[in-house]
Amino acid sequence: MIKSQEIISKLPYSKPFLFVDEIIHIDENGVEGSFTFDENLDFYKGHFEHNPVTPGVILTETMAQIGLVCLGIFILDNNFNKNTSIALTSVNMEFIKPVFPNEKVTVFSEKIYFRFGKLKCKVSMKNENSVVVCTGEIAGMVV
């Protein structure tokens, strides 16, 4: 069985676009992982002036990296290699609360289905107070 650190090492991202610090739990039905948004990330410089907030597209990317790609790597296990990737195909997100610099968030993903190379998941993100900040569905294809 593939280990959490091995999954993170197989992600096709690097800093500053890697939004996975830790995989807390993973199995064939879902994943839980976390990331802390460092206040020095470039997008905070202009979003919003004097009151930085994490852009929704970055929250979506974080949920995709943890909730879709990490889970896909786990499910594919030995069939995932350097020539394999998981391409985002659709998202449907609802943003409920802002995420500020230096906040740690936890992503929860539950597999809806994986068939014909398509993985679809129900995802949610909570802040350190266990308050849901965004939720939705996300899907991708193995290519």
Spell out the per-residue pLDDT of the chain, length 143, in tens: 678 999 999 999 999 999 999 999 999 999 999 999 999 999 998 888 889 999 999 999 999 999 999 999 999 987 887 788 899 999 999 999 999 999 999 999 999 999 999 999 999 999 999 999 999 999 999 98
In a domain, 2, yes or no: no
Please state, in angstroms and as integers, the Cα–Cα distance from residue 139 to each residue in 17, 34, 44, 55, 88, following that order: 20, 19, 27, 20, 6
Catalytic residue flag (residue 47): yes
In a domain, 3, yes or no: no
In a domain, 136, yes or no: yes
Active-site residue (options: 21, 43, 47, 118): 47
In a domain, 68, yes or no: yes
Where residue 32 sits, what CATH number does that domain have? 3.10.129.10
- Find the distance separating the first CA and the last CA of the chain, reported in whole Å: 22
In a domain, 14, yes or no: no
- What tokens appear for 129 in the block? 């107070």
pTM recorded for the entire structure: 0.95
Average pLDDT over all residues of the chain: 95
d(CA 48, CA 12): 29
Per residue in 22-46, pLDDT (tens digit) is 999 999 999 999 999 999 999 998 8
Structurally, how many domains does the chain consist of?
1
Give phi and psi for 43, each to the nearest 5: -65, -20
Give the per-residue pLDDT at 2.
Answer: 78
d(CA 107, CA 123): 7
